Structure 1
Amino acid sequence: MPPLPTYLSRLYHTIRHDPLRRYIYLLLWPWFIPVVSYLIFGDALLAGWQPFLSGVAVVLLLSTLANEVDTAALLRIIHRFPGFDQTVWRLVSMVIAFSVLNCLLAEVSLRVFEATHFLGYRANADTHKWTQAFVFISGVVAAGLVESAYAFTQWRTHQSDRQSLEQDNLRIQLDSLRSRINPHFLFNSLNSVSSLIADDPKQAEALVDELSKVYRYMLQANQKPLVELGAEVRFIQSYARLLDARYGAALQLRLAIHPAANGLLLPSLSLQLLLDHICQHNALTAARPLTIQIETSGGGRLWVRHNRQPRTILIDRQLPGLDAIAARYDWLGSEQILVDETDRQVTVALPLLPADTAPPPLSTVQATDLPVE
């Protein structure tokens, strides 16, 4: 048992930093301790300051003990029923636990007072009945206060987490857009066009058209948290033509998308982020081409497979990758992406969401609300 000053210091720290106990100590005890003391000792409690302070001190000590026991039970209950959808089970469990434990402690305390004749206490049926009834009701009130405090704390944590996810989602969108609208990407794209102007003007014109489609889609998609798979695949086909102009035979992209899956949803630009991630981390040569297979093969997921041939030197480290895609699915509250990696092949499975999936509302203006012609 720590010295009294140390215990009081710990108690103050607990009240200050633990919302649940703060509600108990500040809202319940100021009226609970005097009322219970009077129910137990009656007019003897009011005979003078000494009996009053003695009676209140003893009841306060017993209440502190009861609170410690209740807290231990509370932690187990919250661990067993932590969710919002388990509120009823959690509240019922707290009412039962608090009432049983507190009534049991009150029964033991009354018997000790009887044996020691503390403040002249004598067993009395009415006193016993009203004391136990009041302790039971207090347990119900305490359970309600604790549940209210717990619900408020969870709600505040949920709001904070959601705001953090929203900010992460906006940052990811902005990073994705910035990673494409940069001199390096423009240089490679325009250099490919420039090299074709003299030799093959028609192909150069087609490449410019694909470049226009790519930028138009990226500007539009960055304003939408979710897009249809069909639209994303059409974008990837245009984007792949730009990659083909850059890598040639070193990169091979194969698509096998079932028409029934075109209406399903996924986070915007997920495939573009994934393709960039794959090209960033794997060597691409005509002798050893990087082959990427994108298909829907059941299970409500989009499967992206490629042969594994890691680069010895990484480039474009600033490009967002798998972490950015995973963060988007976190923000949506969806299933997580799956990654299976062997020595020869890497498979990434992206969940496809139902067409009626609504993204969480954003509480801030989207950083990518850019005008689109």
Structure 2
Amino acid sequence: MKWPSEKVIRWIGIPVVGFFMSFIVKDHEHEQNTMLQNILISLVFTGVLWNGAVLIIFQLRKKFPDLPQTGRRLVVTYLVVTLFLIICPNLIRLALGIVSLDDLENIKNLFMNSEINMVAAFMVSSIYEGAYFFQQWKKSFALAEQFRNQQIRTQFEVLQNQMSPHFLFNSLNTLTTLIAEDQKLAIDFTQTLSEVYRYILQNKERELVTLKEELSFSKSYVYLLQMRYPENLEVNFTIDSGYEELYIAPLTLQMLIENAIKHNVISKTKPLQIDIYMERNDVVVVKNNLQLKRTLEKSTKTGLANIRKRYEFLGQRDIEVITSQNNYMVAVPLIEMFSEIELTKKPAHDGINH
């Protein structure tokens, strides 16, 4: 069952609450009024105070929007709404001519019905915050579920790519050649191939890994590729060790390297160069010279869309793709700490040199 919106509930609730409050709140100022006058005055008070409190609550949600800020937001909301419900009724009474400024010089008149206002502030703040917390919790749960589904798709697609007959055929073919030509190199190749699969199996379920881990894996992966393209593929890693403790989604660099191999010609006349380096302090760039194939080998659609989707779930930080006449670049933001996934959104293209 779909509940009515907050706005509908509020505008239905104002006349209902206003009507009942005209009988609950009794003071000497209204003794000479008719019942209709009391109801109308009560409706004005209820409408202004309810809408004003809601405006405050919504503004504070913008200032403290996240689930970890719930406690702080609740305390600030209660204090500000309480202050509003004490001050605003006096302004309404002045505007309606119910009291004069001289009347409000009396502290007792200034804080008239303050107990009711404080209880109302607590109830309104609690109801709205409870509803907002539940709404945010549902969103967080749905986002986590989407992320888990995306992780499962990533695991399947990456394993499908790396364990495809095409990849295995090339690896085994290279290994067979090395065994005949250089047994020591064949052993190194076998060990590296084992490390690549071990990394995929160990980290396929993790949300983030350190850049150091990802670089180590990517270098092993590149080593296997360079056995296939000994003179036609050059991959340069120029990343200072000071950045290696930042975090990245696992298999990101491998997917980008794989995409460069998959989509570009690699030959003696057209060697492929891939550069992996830092831009600013929190963006890693994967850049390759652009020499697109006319026909592409079969793809499982892993890669850029997958990486972009995972980064949306991790913290709404964009990856940026920049294509020039000669180069293709993908800029991937790094994450400072695992516990601080939700960071300020910074477009990755700022400062990248074409």
TM superposition score normalised by structure 1: 0.66
Task: Specify the code of the residue in structure 1 equivalent to 2:175.
Answer: V
1:303 corresponds to which of 256, 263, 285? 285
**1:61-84 Cα shifts (integer Å, max 9, x gaps):** 547744774477358625753524
Matched residue type, 1:73: L
Question: Equivalences for 1:330-349 in 2 at 5 Å?
Answer: 330-333=312-315, 336-349=318-331
Residue 275 of structure 1: aligned partner: 257
User: How far did 1:174 drift?
Assistant: 3.3
Aligned pairs for 1:1-373 within 5 A: 16-18=3-5, 22=9, 33-40=19-26, 58=40, 62=44, 65-66=47-48, 69-70=51-52, 73-74=55-56, 77=59, 80-84=62-66, 85=69, 87=73, 88-97=75-84, 104-105=91-92, 133=114, 136-137=117-118, 139-141=120-122, 142-198=124-180, 203-296=185-278, 299-333=281-315, 336-354=318-336, 357-358=338-339
1:58 CA displacement: 4.8
**Distance in 1 of aligned mates of 2:138 and 2:87:** 31
Per-residue deviation at 1:320?
Answer: 1.9
- Which moved further from structure 2: 254-263 or 33-42? 33-42
SS at match of 1:293: strand
Gaps of 5+ in 2: 99-105, 342-354
Aligned CA RMSD, in angstroms, stands at 4.3
Q: Aligned partner of 2:166: which letter?
A: H
Partner secondary structure for residue 217 of structure 2: helix
Instruction: For residues 283-302 of structure 1, give each alpha carbon's deviation from its aligned partner in whole angstroms, at most 9, with x where no partner exists.
Output: 33321222001234661443
Q: What TM-score do you get using the length of structure 2 for normalisation?
A: 0.69
Alpha-carbon contact 2:236-2:274 (below 8 Å) kept = yes
Q: Which amino acid aligns with 2:156?
A: L
Q: Is the contact between residue 165 and residue 330 of structure 1 (CA under 8 Å) also seen in structure 2?
A: no
Please tell me the residue identity of whatever aligns with 1:280. K
Counterpart residue type for residue 140 of structure 1 = A
Structure 1 residues 148, 72: CA separation in 2 closer, same or farther (over 3 Å shift)?
closer
CA shift in 2, pair 1:29/1:304, >3 Å = same
2:235–2:275: 8 Å Cα contact kept in structure 1?
A: yes
Gaps of 5+ in 1: 1-12, 46-50, 112-124, 361-373
Partners of 2:331 and 2:236 lie apart in 1 by: 16
Give the percent of matched residue pairs that are identical in Structure 1 and Structure 2: 24
The alpha-carbon deviation at position 275 of structure 1 amounts to 0.8
Distance 1:316 1:36, change over 3 A: farther
Q: 1:298 to 1:140 in 2, by over 3 A?
A: closer
Number of aligned positions between the proteins:
324
Higher relative CO (Cα under 8 Å, sequence separation at least 6) belongs to 1
SS where residue 25 of structure 2 aligns? helix
Structure 1 position 254, deviation (Å)? 1.6
Residue type of the alignment partner of 2:5? D
Secondary structure of the residue aligned to 1:295 is strand
Aligned mates of 1:203, 1:260 — CA distance in 2: 32
Question: C-alpha distance in 2, partners of 1:264/1:80?
Answer: 29
Cα 1:97–1:310 shift into 2, 3 Å: farther
